[in-house]
Structure 1
């Protein structure tokens, strides 16, 4: 199960994150697009060392080594327009000392990925919970039938919640990423646990 941080400030966020990890959260994508490098460092610092290997940085990638983080995420824009950023990490990825993920927004974009990526988000699968007026332009379940990239794992993002997790996993996605379902809920940890239980039942 993957959770992406809310892009803006959340009260008691670090405490909530620790609770999510303790409940079995496997990966946390830290996406804070408006954070400066110093703000990002201050955000990461209180996260317990035992959870650092589960963190994925979306920005200020140079902080990764300082905090013992070996997972880097590239946005679609970075991947396409700033190839030199990705190239810095490609050699280490080959021996699995670091892991790289990225974002895609169409099956054609996903199919065109190079094999260096461990997994990629494909979004939006459903109408977004966290973004207003952000909804799928095509049926991504149908689009998955034309998938040709079988090395990169494909992760569903966008509008994922407890009501559609099972359908999503039954239609070809390897895993799901939660954002709005968790952070727009009055009890983020409880909602995460519910989603996790549904996903685990599918795997049994």
Structure 2
């Protein structure tokens, strides 16, 4: 299961991040679009060293080398830069908004977020007109894992996994909750139950 940081700062964010990892979070995508390079470096520096291998950078990719981070995410607009980075033996991921784009991805991508699967929790009035469960029937790319993003919460995780997604990513369900760690644990339990 993947968690994406809230774009803006959250109270006790680093402490929550460390707790999420302690509870078994596999990957944390650091998506802070307004951070300067220095702010990003300071943010990463606060996360416990033993969790660095579980971090994925959405921006300021040049910091990956300095911090021993081996995972880079490319938003849709930046995919052209990918193959320069791929030569540096980084694990790469990206974001897509249609199954056609997903099917056409280069096999170097380990996984891709497809969104929004459900009505977004973190972005107001953000939902897709596409029925992604219907669209998934035309999936032909099985080299890249397909991750459900957008509106993912405890009540719909099972539906996403049953309908062909390989995994899920959480954002609003965690960060908009009064107890982010407990909410993560609930979602994790549901996902683990499905995979058993």
**Structure 1, unpaired ranges of 5+:** none
The residue that corresponds to 2:126 in the other structure is 134
TM-score normalised per structure 2: 0.99
The residue that corresponds to 1:124 in the other structure is 116
1:28-66 C-alpha deviation (Å, 9 max, x unpaired): 000000000001001000111100000000000000010
1:94-132 C-alpha deviation (Å, 9 max, x unpaired): xxxx20000000001101101110000000000000001
2:87 to 84, 91, 94: 91
The size of the alignment, in residue pairs, is: 196
1:171-194 C-alpha deviation (Å, 9 max, x unpaired): 000000000000000000000000
**What is the CA distance between 1:92 and its match in structure 2?**
3.5
TM-score normalised per structure 1: 0.95
| Structure 1: 4+ residue segments shifted above 4 A | none
Trace 1:9-28 onto structure 2 (pairs within 5 A). Answer: 9-28=9-28
| Cα distance in structure 2, aligned partners of 1:92 and 1:164 | 37
Calculate the aligned-residue CA RMSD, in Å.
Answer: 0.7
**Structure 2, unpaired ranges of 5+:** none
1:183 pairs with 2:175: yes
1:194 pairs with 2:186: yes
Trace 1:43-122 onto structure 2 (pairs within 5 A). Answer: 43-79=43-79, 83=80, 85-93=81-89, 98-122=90-114
